[in-house]
Amino acid sequence: MTMKRVRDWIILSGTSNAPLAHKIGEKLEKPIGKADIRRFSDGEIFVEIKENVRGRDVYIIQSTCTPVNDSLMELLILIDALKRASAKDINAVIPYYGYSRQDRKVNPRTPISAKLTADLLTAAGATRVVSVDLHAGQIQGFFNIPFDNLFSMPVIYQHIEKTIKPSAGEMVVVSPDAGGVERARNLAKRLDATVAIIDKRRIGPNVAKAMNIIGDVKDRTAIIIDDMIDTAGTLTEAANAVMDFGAKRVIAAATHGVLSGPAVARIQDSRIEKVIVTDTIPLSENAKNCAKIEQLTVAPLLAEAIFRIHHYDSVSSLFT
């Protein structure tokens, strides 16, 4: 008698972004699998999968965010444990891909850490990677396994349209640098808004100085859009420039709220009305208590991607 084998699957979560993992599980109506993840007194990470994964497709949800090295190492160890337990496909769902800003050599004798991270994930045994808004799209080419780079733009757009209720001609989408123009243009098309670009001169690591604005922001609501907010230095300089050039109000939006160092204090003291981020990175208590910071969830987006990947459906519509 021939029996048809049903493809079974399981979702696991690392410790870096468990709240997002549980939201994804709820959307998929699938509980998070059990795994014992702990650290020894010297900082070594130990993982034991408490589920039978032999022949099953596994989706590990783990953002490689602060502490970046611990989160990355934990993900690698989880993948290795699954490979040695004979999991069929190991899908690393990395909402925030750490080291993505080190995607090329910027000076002699410097590393390309995004490529090293890709090599580590592949060597550990990952068979597919899913991420959200890579800092540099070419990172997908660092992998010789399938890579799905999803975009949070629909989530951000729907929230802006619902809460700000923009009127035609009253809004301008601002890119904080030349590299983000395509992102700004995509949002502007949805909002029926114009685009402006800030001419930014970087004077040191995590230090930028806004110099000029290309485009008209006078008497308009300015939406500054970026892929991530780290120390918020670039963002607050951009907000000052936009307001100095006559904008009525400034709202900022970004996928990844890294919010390291003085970021929250800078945002609180800035001329920005609201900062919108997603939950690819969990907010610190300090950020949660900041009235200006609002967090959206990408759980439905990632849940839909996981569902389609598992059922061999097209994921391409999620890229637009």
Peptide bond into 176 cis (omega under 30): no
Active site residue 209: no
CA distances from 109 to 103, 106, 138, 170, 267 (A): 14, 9, 21, 48, 35
Token look-up 């490529």 returns 115
Q: For residue 66, give both structure tokens.
A: 């602060």
Q: Which of 50, 115, 200, 292 does the annotation list as catalytic?
A: 200
Token look-up 């700004």 returns 184
Cα angle, residue 175 at apex, residues 169 and 178 outer, rounded to 5°: 130
Residue 63 CA from chain centroid, whole number: 8
Cβ neighbours, 10 Å, residue 246: 13
Sort residue 165 into left (φ over 0), alpha (ψ -120 to 50) or beta. Answer: left
Helix axes 18-27 and 299-310, enclosed angle (nearest 10): 60
Catalytic annotation, residues: 200
